[in-house]
Amino acid sequence: MRKQSRSRYLLAIEDRNRLRKLAARKIKLAANAVSALTLRRWEEKIDRKFEKKFEEQRVKVQQLKKDNAFLRANQRIFKQGCSVLESCAVVLQVKLEEDMDAAHLSFPSPHDFYVPHI
């Protein structure tokens, strides 16, 4: 459960480091006098094994960051558009109320109209 919440990139790094430690331990157990060169070769071999995986994950993370930034920008634009629409709706509502009040003021009573009976 804990590993699922971590990124694959971090898990790949942990796997590489774990393999490096295992390789170093194996070499040390095989011979008490392990040369630094042998240890370095094992580390390079492990690094080559994981290099492609690291690069793929790094590219994916960068793409996700770009997508996230793009989506956040779109979200900000959408929210700004909504607030502009809300303010326009308020202005239109006020104008409508003013027009309705003006219509009522010009004809204050229905008795002011002459309606012939047919």
Each domain of the chain, given as residue ranges in start order, spans 3-76
- pLDDT tens track for 34-91: 677 777 888 888 888 888 888 888 899 999 999 999 999 999 999 998 888 899 899 9
Q: What is the pLDDT of residue 37?
A: 79
pLDDT at 16 over 50: yes
Report the interhelical angle of 36-106 vs 8-30 (nearest 10°): 170
Rounded to an integer, what distance in angstroms lies between the CA atom of residue 57 and that of residue 55?
Answer: 5
Q: What is the pLDDT of residue 67?
A: 95
- pLDDT tens track for 84-105: 889 989 999 999 988 888 776 6
Rounded to an integer, what distance in angstroms lies between the CA atom of residue 92 and that of residue 99?
Answer: 10
In Å, how far from its chain's centre is CA 52? 25
Instruction: Using alpha carbons, select from 57, 61, 66 the residue that is nearest to residue 11.
Output: 57
